[in-house]
Each structure stands twice: as structure tokens, then as C-alpha cells.
Amino acid sequence: MKTLAANSAQKTEQGRIINDFSIQVATVNGSGSQSSNNVLMRAIFQMGIPVSGKNLFPSNIAGLPTWFTIRVNKDGWVARKREIDILIAMNPQTSVEDVKSLPPGAICISPIELHLDSVRSDIKHYQVPFAELATQTTENIKLRKLLTNMVYVGVVGHLIELDFEEVKKAISRQFEGKTKAIDLNIAAVTKGREWAAQNLKKEDPYYVQADDKTQGKIIIDGNAASALGAMFAGVTVVTWYPITPSSSVCETLTDYMHQYRLDKKTGKATYAIIQAEDELAALGMAIGAGWAGARSMTSTSGPGISLMSEFTGLGYFAEIPTVIFDIQRVGPSTGLPTRTSQADLLSTYQLSHGDTKHIVLLPGTVEECYSMAVNAFNLAEKFQTPVFVLSDLDLGMNNWMSDPFKYPDTPIDRGKVLTASDLERLGKFERYKDIDGDGIPYRTLPGTNHALAAYFTRGSGHNEKAAYTERSDDYKNLMDRLNKKYQTARKYIPKPSMVSDKTAKIGIIAYGSSHFAITESQSQLKTEANIATSYLRIKALPFTEELKQFIQTHERIYVIEQNRDAQLRSLITLELPEFATKLRSVLHYDGLPIDARSITEEIKSQER
Amino acid sequence: MVDAPVTSNQAPAPKTNRIGLTLADYKGAPSTLCDGCGHDAITAQIIKACYELGVEPHKVAKLSGIGCSSKTPAYFLSRAHGFNAVHGRMPSVATGVSMANRDLTLLAVSGDGDTASIGLGQFCHIIRRNVPMIYIVENNGVYGLTKGQFSATADFGSKSKSGVMNELSSIDLCSLAIELGATFVGRSFAGDPKQLVALIKAAVSHRGTAILDVISPCVTFNNHEGSTKSYKYAKESEIPLHDLGFVPFFEQLTIEMEPGTIQEVEFHDGSKIILKKLDKNYDPTNKLSAMNTLQKAIAEKQFLTGLLYVDEKKEDFTTIMDLVDEPLATLSAEQTRPGKEVLEEIMNSLK
């Protein structure tokens, strides 16, 4: 393996570009290309080469154009790469535009009948009789279309010298247990490889070469990671309403729970998962369950967040724990349902009317989708309040490489819950009284068999004893205690991660899925323009002390985020107005995942 | 008097029920509703029913939405946890509570605005799921807290206090509930305590969503001439389908009635409701005849009361969800966090 590692990462070896390029596959939604793309990505991963895949899909079941981008990168940069090096143009609807968008020198693999060579001559064309090759593979007309996609895996595999054994393994994994499908798909790939070997002359620099950089790694999407986090957090009541891009959180969770959370003796469920009638009901159920002592959660996206506003305020004011996953998509309104964004930061932070503010966790990697999900349930019960986990479509629905997740090292924290024997010992119970000075009161659960246990929960004004009140002093007292509780939370939420360069005058602040593009951009800035940068990634709201220190120690701060209105920067300006003039923005809001090149160009231009 | 023995000065020990609690133990805070409000009459029957059944207060969760009616859970069972949720969304909260703790008896109060307008969607879906709970709609045809606007249950042609005629047809919650597959549907009147208390007891014994639509006059905004939800109108036009008697599981059946005129419905806990037929053709276990009778009553502007429909066979939501016997809320970490080996197995499958 040592020699492999030493040999790898050769940028050019006789003009070769090894393990550093991007492939874009343009197909029609519903044509079954997802399997082929997964096989292609998986085979590269199995060769030990860092890889990422991004699915750019329409809000549609079948017929509209869809693109899948695979990025191969020896240095482990897995953010989206803006430039496409290899285009597989299978969709006649978009092929001309797809070809026009390529940088000069790129290559294009396309069906021969599209005659794309007439569109541009400054790129390398490989034209393939896909239909004919698929016909030779099977007589079944229905299957032909699907197998055409496997033929391109064979063609591109031959061109980049993809290990055929790894392709076969990836196919076996993709169609696990279906021998016939495995054989057919391998035959289609073989067909493509053989045709390419006999008919194509390699005239491009792109190659893969085995490496050892993916050893021990997993591939997972952020939504599955969040689902795993919820399961290992011990979630018991899950409520949701279908919405892209969040549905797969609860769908994956349903599969995992069915497999691992049925009672061993009775086979009965230690959980309830309910598909609600809408997002209002979904959060209502989660709030009801949290009140009655379950570990509850719901998962949604922007439009659902808007609908959940009222119940979130109730949860905040009446102090009821629950966890809300927001897998952000592009808004406002229905927006672009299948595109990514980070534009729900402010709306979730202060969701609902009146003075409200919430704990918001901001995972930036699939590992954090998992670990922050575990943490979110503890925070929700510790602080008796709704806690948001803000992921996004890019993180949630795309496949990412990661180190395997670690088993939670902290016990389940159910927070300040008094039992009947506690009540007996204390001889007194006031639901909303701040006994410990941290702003967090004690609660009892319905069903507690003690004369002191019961209290009345309401979203209207209430005093320390949970009785209805409209008194000014009671209201102010309550609002101040809620604020105190929120201040306490600053000490318990995840701290930012910080990578400091002592020579750097420039600091970068960001959050969430921008992470990988930022670290890549930092490297570009350093090598291309000798701009040193430090990087602070915020992992939660409210802000913690580290943010202030970071801004203080840098001359200029670039706040990088995937929304139009500079939401994080606005929030920093609000909370730390003394630093307002230090802050600059890099904004990316075209619906596509942020990429390093765009960040680098923007910072370079602002630094000029 | 000075020589009188001390003991004779003490009030006699108050009567207690089968679990040793007094009627006062089932009361709540004093009502802040208007004097004579129908809701307070219903509260009194809830207290009476729970006392007579020997319901354990700590095992009850009281739930409500927003409105005058939704305030009432504060006025009964002060030893039970209560939850005054947001407007029209009590059913979703109830569903969550029911999933978290299957041992609780859910006693929910809503109003006609809270249920038939803003909450109509959740009303439909709680019925569809058959979440075990008692769902009482205190129906007065107006919005009280916002001073007298018509609600969606106000009858076509009825007049508001200011003389405006309601020009929209009303939503009949009982017909709707039966149509949606409800397993227990009753209609009563706040001024008919005998029938109401029997229906509440039966609802407590039922396993599934028990809908009780109770006409509960608003003395301030809807008790005038021209209203079809006034005390006077309801009293004069109420047509009970049957006389009701309730026999709890812990008592022997002692009611004697003429054979052929009575019908018994037995609940899961062994309690029975005895229906003495007034309309000889009415059978509350027959969905089609229940629908027919109700539709006819609507067409003829009749105010029918009684147990309109009951189905003890349909599975409730807890059963459908196949939950463990212990409440989910109190499961231990060992039961809810899978072991290290499970995570390892999953991680290996993703490599």
C-alpha cells in the first residue's frame, strides 16, 4: 500500500491527470441511471480513491432532465467542482446546452446519433452507438433503456482505466441477491468496455489509479446519518409529513427501527413512527409526545418549517422538548424543491411570534448529522425546548465519504424530571420555578402517581406554579427566566471548530455543508494567491465565546453562506455590532451546492 | 352546645368512591366562564362520571385547544396533568401523548370553532387513526371569546344576537364522524345531565376515539330567540333516541326492563351501556341506519340525542402501532439505544 500511496496523486505523468477530475452524467429522470451512477461512484471508491457524488434532480418522477456529478479527487476534496471534465451526454433534451457549458479541453461521451461533434470542436468527443450496444445485450425492449446506462459505465470505465473487478463488485452490491440482474448489468458493462477498446482511441488525460485513501471509510447520505443518530439517541416517537428533501430521514429511520428497535422478547415496537396529515400535526404530535415523556422528533423542510411556526412557539413558551430536523431546500414558498440552500437560518432561529429564540445545531458533515442528532435529543430534554437540526439537501440527499461513526460516549440525559419519590422527598413542586439558578425548571410527566405531580400546561400566560396569569410581573419574570435558560444553553451546545493560521489576517466564518468547499478554497487561496486564512465553523446557535475571540483576532472576516441575505452575517452583526465593519460576505444562492472555485474567486476579487 | 361531644361537631365523613376518593377530589379550579354557561354543566358531569367510575386522576391527561370550552380542563380533575394546546390542534397533541404513554386516559375538550373550523382537519385524522381518547365538543354555534361570531356548526337560518341570519349550511360533526369511520359517536345536551353522564361513562370505557358532540348553550352570545343552540330551543326540541343506563364493569347488572325494548352494548373493560329503545328501529351498531337517521334528522331539523353509533371491534391506534406494553415514555436506555455491535454492523454495511 505504501508504494501505491507514493505513486498516487501524480498530477501529470506523461501528460496524464490521475485521480483528479469530475464526471457529469446527463440523463432523463426516471431512466434508471441512478444505479449506473452509483456503480460508477462505488467502483472508484473501492479502488481507494476519494470520491463524491451529487445528484442534481428535478421535482418530477419521470421525463425531466437530471444530472449526476461524480468528483474524483486524490486530495480528498469532495465538494462540488464547478467545471466538468468528462460529460456523458445521454439526454437529447439538454445535450446541446450541456456540451456548450463545458470548459475547453473537456471530453464528451455521447450517443452517436446526437452528432454533438457539430456543436463544438474544442472538446474531445467520443461518440458511441449506445442503442445498438444495448440491443446486443438484451432482446427485452424495457430493459434496453436501463442497460444503456450500464453501457456508458463500461465505456467511461475503459477510458479512465477503471478496475473492472471493482465494477463487478459494485454491481453485485447494487443488485444484491438478484443474480439475473447482476449478470445482465455486467454483460452491458462488458459490452461497453469491449466496444470502446476496439473502437475508441484514448485522446484525453483522465485516469484513475488505485490508492489507499478510502480504506475503512463509509459512504452515506446525511439523512441516513441523521436517522442513525436519532435511533442511537433513543428516539421513541417520530412524526413526519412527506417533503423533499427530508422524507428519507424518516423513511430510513423506519427501516432501521424496524430492524433494530423491536422488543427482543415480544417483537413489539419500542417506538411509534407516524406519517401525519400535515406538518402542523407532525409537530403537534411530537410536542404532545415530548410533553408526556417520549423522546420525540419530526423532520421537514422549509414549507413545513413555516407551518410549524405556531407549535414551535408553544414548545418554547410551555417548555416542551422535541427535535426538529430541517433539511433545507431553496425557498421562498415552494421555491426549488430539489435544490439546496442555507436560507432557513434566521427563520428557524426565531421561529414563531413573540420573543422566541431556539437552539439550532448546524451539522457540516454526515458524521455531524449523526452525532448532532444524538446530541439534539439530550439538549432538548435538558433545556425542555424544541431543538432544531439544520441540515440541507446537499448534505442530506447526496452520498458522502466519512470515517465510521462512533458509538455515543455520553449517556441519555432525560433532564430535570421529578418522579413520585422525588416529589415525596421534596414535599413541593412548582413547574416553572428556577430552583437551580440556571433558568431550567423541573417537570413531571403525566401519569406520575403523586398528589403534587399534576400541573397545567398552556401557551397562555403562566406563573411559576403553572397557573394562568395576565400579571405583568409574572409575564416578565417568565420571559427573563426563559432568556436565562437560553444563556445557560450557550455553555452546553457544540462549540465552533477552528483552524487558525497564525499568519492569517483573514478569517472565514461559515456553517453547515459549505465546509468542504471552504477548506478546498483555503488551499486554493494559499497556493494561487498566497492568501492565508483561518477558519471558524459555527456548529450551533446561540453563539458561543469563541466567535468573538475569532473575529477579534482577525483583520477581516468573510462570512460564507448559501443564501441571498447574508443571514449568518446579519445575526453576528446583531449580536456583536462592534464588529459589523469587519464582516464581509461571500454568498452563493443559485440552488447548486457551493464550490471552492466560486469562493476563491470572490475572496480574491474582494482582496484586490 | 358547650357540653356537646367534640365528635358531633365534625361533619360526617364525605362519601368516597371505589378507590377512596371524594367528589371534591375530582374538581378543579373555579370556573371563570359566564354564569349559566353550558360548559360548566358539562364540566359537572365529567366530574361526576369520573368520580362514579373511580377513574384514577393521575392516569388521566386532560387536553384542549383554544376557546371558552378549551379553558374547562382547568375546572375539573386538578390531580391530572392538563395541556391547553393551540387552536384546533389538540388532536395532534393527543396523538403524541397517546403514543408516549398508552396507560393514560385522554380526556379532551374542544369547541365548535376549535373542532369544526380551524381544527376540522385534525378532527378527521384523529378519527381515522382511532386514537384512544374521549373527545368532547362543547358545541354552542358561536365564538364566545371573540364575542359572538357564527361558527361552522351554526344552523342555516339561525339568527345571531345582533339579528344577522346565518346563510351557510352547518357542519354536522356526528354525521361527519360516522362517515370518517368513528367508533363511538354520541350527541347530547348540557341540559340533560342524566343522559350526558351515561354517555361520558361509556366514552371512558370505549377503546378508540369517542366523539361526544354536546350542545352547550352560550348564555351571553347565543341564547336568544332565533338561535338553534339556546337552552330553550334545545330543551323544547331534544328528541332522545333512547334512555341510557350505564353499568360499569365493577357492578352487577340490576336494571330490569321489558324484554325486546332494550339493547346492551358491551365495552372492552366489561362495562355495558343499556339502551332502552324509544325509537324501536334504532340500532347504534348499524352504521347505515345511524347515517340514515341522522340525515333524516338534519333534513327535518330535529335535534336527536343519544348514542348514535358504536363499534367495539375496530382496532385502536395503539394496537395498530403494535406498541410494547410499557409506556414509551418510561422505557430504559437499554430498551431504546441499540448496542455497540448494532452500530458496527451498520457501519460495516456502508463500507
pLDDT band, very low/low/confident/very high, at B2 (cuts 50, 70, 90):
very low
pLDDT band, very low/low/confident/very high, at B277 (cuts 50, 70, 90):
confident
Helix (H) or strand (E) holding A378, with range, is helix A366-383
- Chain B stretch 223-262, residues whose beta carbon is closer than 8 A to a beta carbon of chain A: none
- pLDDT of the residue at B253: 64
- pLDDT of the residue at B210: 98
pLDDT digits (tens, 9 = 90+) for B214-225: 999 999 999 999
Tell me the percentage of chain B whose pLDDT exceeds 90: 88
Question: What is the three-class DSSP state of A587?
Answer: strand
Q: What angle do CA A392, A395, A397 make, to 5 degrees?
A: 90
**DSSP secondary structure code for residue A201 in this structure:** -
Instruction: Answer yes or no: is pLDDT of A139 > 90.
Output: no
Comparing CB atoms, the residue among B58, B96, B327 nearest residue A288 is: B96
What residue segments make up the domains of chain B, in order of their start? 16-334
pLDDT digits (tens, 9 = 90+) for A363-418: 999 999 999 999 999 999 999 999 999 999 999 999 999 999 999 999 999 999 99
B16-334 belongs to CATH 1.10.20.140: no
DSSP B35-47: TT-HHHHHHHHHH
pLDDT digits (tens, 9 = 90+) for A504-526: 999 999 999 999 999 999 999 99
| B89:A280 CB<8 A | yes
pLDDT digits (tens, 9 = 90+) for B124-174: 999 999 999 999 999 999 999 999 999 999 999 999 999 999 999 999 999
Closest CA to B189 of B245, B228, B150, B159: B228
How many domains does the structure of chain A reveal?
A: 4
- Kindly state the average pLDDT of the residues B93-110: 98
CATH number assigned to the domain comprising residue A264? 3.40.50.970
Q: Which ranges constitute the DSSP H helices of A101-140?
A: 130-137
Last residue of a domain, one of A448, A472, A489: A489
Is the same domain home to A323 and A432?
no
Residue range of the domain that includes A430: 420-489
- pLDDT of the residue at B260: 65
Distance CA B233, CA B158 (A): 11
pLDDT band, very low/low/confident/very high, at B259 (cuts 50, 70, 90):
low
Give the chain B residue nearest A454 (alpha carbons).
B81
- Kindly state the average pLDDT of the residues B341-347: 98
Closest CA to A289 of B148, B117, B323: B323
Phi, psi of B261 (to 5 degrees): -105, -5
Average pLDDT of chain A, as a whole number: 95
Instruction: Answer yes or no: is pLDDT of B329 > 90.
Output: yes
Helix (H) or strand (E) holding A37, with range, is helix A33-46
Domain assignment present for residue A411? The answer is no
Contact A272, B321 (CB under 8 A): yes
Domain assignment present for residue A568? The answer is yes
Domain assignment present for residue A571? The answer is yes
- pLDDT of the residue at B257: 60
- Kindly state the average pLDDT of the residues A106-133: 96
Distance CA A241, CA A274 (A): 9
Distance CA A11, CA A3 (A): 16
| B340:A291 CB<8 A | no
Cell of A377: 435529543
How many C-beta atoms lie closer than 10 Å to residue A451's C-beta? Answer: 14
Distance CA B116, CA A440 (A): 38
**What do you get for the CA distance between the two ends of chain A, in Å?**
44
From A168's Cα to the closest Cα of chain B, the distance in A is 16
Closest CA to B217 of B227, B228, B231: B231
pLDDT band, very low/low/confident/very high, at B244 (cuts 50, 70, 90):
very high
CATH number assigned to the domain comprising residue A545? 3.40.50.920
| A260:B342 CB<8 A | yes
User: How many CA atoms, within 13 angstroms, populate the side-chain half-sphere of residue A393?
Assistant: 29
- Cα R_g (chain B), whole angstroms: 22
- pLDDT of the residue at B9: 60
Q: In A56-84, which positions are buried (b, 16+ CB within 10 angstroms) versus exposed (e)?
A: bbbeeeeebbbbbbbbbbbeebbbbbeeb
- Kindly state the average pLDDT of the residues A319-334: 98
| B335:A270 CB<8 A | yes
Is the same domain home to A473 and A557?
no
Distance CA A197, CA A192 (A): 9
- Chain B stretch 293-322, residues whose beta carbon is closer than 8 A to a beta carbon of chain A: 321-322
**Which region, left, alpha or beta, applies to residue B148 given φ > 0 means left and ψ of -120 to 50 means alpha?**
left
Is the same domain home to A366 and A391?
yes
Per DSSP bridges, beta strands A272-275 and A237-240 are: parallel
Domain assignment present for residue A412? The answer is no
| A292:B101 CB<8 A | yes
Q: Which ranges constitute the DSSP H helices of B79-192?
A: 90-100, 112-116, 120-129, 173-179
| B336:A261 CB<8 A | yes
Helix (H) or strand (E) holding A174, with range, is helix A164-174
pLDDT band, very low/low/confident/very high, at A313 (cuts 50, 70, 90):
very high
Instruction: Tell me the C-alpha to C-alpha distance, in Å, between residue A361 and each of A20, A304, A537, B116, B185.
Output: 33, 18, 12, 38, 45
Residues 6 or more apart from B193 whose CB is under 8 A from it? B41, B44, B45, B48
From B9's Cα to the closest Cα of chain A, the distance in A is 28
Is the same domain home to A461 and A523?
no
Is the same domain home to A93 and A169?
yes
CATH number assigned to the domain comprising residue A174? 3.40.920.10
Give B343's contacts in chain A (Cβ within 8 Å). Answer: 228, 232, 405, 407
- Residue of B60, B62, B75, B337 best to disrupt the A interface, most CBs of A under 10 A: B337
DSSP B119-152: THHHHHHHHHHT-SEEEEEEE-SEETTTTSEE-T
- Residue of A285, A297, A418, A468 best to disrupt the B interface, most CBs of B under 10 A: A285
Contact B247, B239 (CB under 8 A): no
- pLDDT of the residue at A9: 40
Cell 365523613 belongs to residue: B13
Whether A452 and chain B come into contact, CB under 8 Å, resolves to: no
DSSP B272-308: EEEEEESSTT--TT-HHHHHHHHHHHHHTT-EEEEEE
Instruction: Answer yes or no: is pLDDT of A8 > 70.
Output: no
Whether A268 and chain B come into contact, CB under 8 Å, resolves to: yes
pLDDT band, very low/low/confident/very high, at B261 (cuts 50, 70, 90):
confident
Closest CA to B303 of B150, B131, B187, B201: B187
The ipTM is: 0.95
Domain assignment present for residue A9? The answer is yes
The torsion of the CA quartet A11, A14, A19, A25, rounded to 10 degrees, works out to 120
Domain assignment present for residue A413? The answer is no
- pLDDT of the residue at A4: 38
Comparing CB atoms, the residue among A216, A272, A284 nearest residue B89 is: A284
Give A314's contacts in chain B (Cβ within 8 Å). Answer: 85-86
Closest CA to A541 of A604, A492, A585, A586: A492
Instruction: Answer yes or no: is pLDDT of A13 > 60.
Output: no
**What do you get for the CA distance between the two ends of chain B, in Å?**
92
Q: What angle do CA B165, B166, B167 make, to 5 degrees?
A: 105
Contact A249, A299 (CB under 8 A): yes
**DSSP secondary structure code for residue A177 in this structure:** T
Distance CA A439, CA A145 (A): 62
Comparing CB atoms, the residue among A310, A405, A468 nearest residue B347 is: A405
Tell me the percentage of chain A whose pLDDT exceeds 90: 93
Is the same domain home to A275 and A319?
yes
Is the same domain home to A255 and A385?
yes
Instruction: Answer yes or no: is pLDDT of B258 > 90.
Output: no
| B328:A453 CB<8 A | no
- Crossing angle of helices B90-100 and B120-129, rounded to 10°: 30
pLDDT band, very low/low/confident/very high, at A215 (cuts 50, 70, 90):
very high
Last residue of a domain, one of A457, A489, A521: A489
- Residue of A219, A228, A236, A254 best to disrupt the B interface, most CBs of B under 10 A: A236
Is the same domain home to A307 and A383?
yes
Is the same domain home to A179 and A32?
yes
Distance CA A389, CA A370 (A): 11
Is the same domain home to A261 and A353?
yes
